Homo-oligomer: A and B are copies of this chain.
C-alpha cells in the first residue's frame, strides 16, 4: 500500500527494506522500546528521510502485521477450501503456519508481542483477521469431528491447543535451526492428532496421504 501519490520507482523497494529493518529491531527490543532514531541509524537515513518512507511508527507496525496475516490468511483460505479430508487440510494448514513462522521469525515476534500497541481501526482490523484465522482452524477441527476422524472434543479447546503448539514456536526457533516447517508440522500433528482422533482413525497413514496429495497437485 504505497501511501502518498507521486513516488519514484525506487520508493517502494526502499520502503520495504526499511520495514524489514524495523521488524528486526522491533523483534529484538520490542516495539515500544525501539526508537525511530535507532531505525534511522540502521537504515542509514536521517529522521526526515525516514519519515518520508514510513509515515509513522505505528504504520510500520501495521505493515509488519499485514505481512504476517496477509499471506497467512490467503493460504489458510485456500487450504480450507480444498476438497480434501479435514485432517489432511489441518496438516497442510499446520505446515503453512509453521512455514510462515520460520520464514519471518522477527515479524512473528512483533506480531505476537506488539499488536496491542495498535490503536483504533488498525487494531480492530488486526483482531478481525486473527479471529478469521482462528475460525478456519476451528471449522476444520469441527469438520474432522463430524467426519468421525476426531473424537467429540470441545472444538474451541482443540483449536487453542493447535494454536498454542504452533504459535509458541517463535519463542525458541531461530533462523537456520535444525528443524524445518515440514518436520515440525509432522511432529506437531502427530502429537495433536494422536490425542484428538478416534481409536479407529489411521493417524500413521496421514503422511502417506499427504504425499499422495502433493503428487496429485504438482501433476
Contact = CB atoms under 8 A, between A and B. Distances in A.
Interface residues of A, number: 33
B161 A165 contact: yes
A113 B192 CA distance: 26
Interface of A is mostly: helix
A165 B195 CA distance: 13
B179 A157 contact: yes
A150 to B, nearest CB: 12
Contacts of A169: 160, 164
Interface stretch (A26-34, A71-79, A81-89, A121-129): A26-34
Contacts of A30: 30, 32, 113-114, 116-117
A161 B191 contact: yes
Nearest to A34: B32
A194 B30 CA distance: 37
B157 A164 contact: no
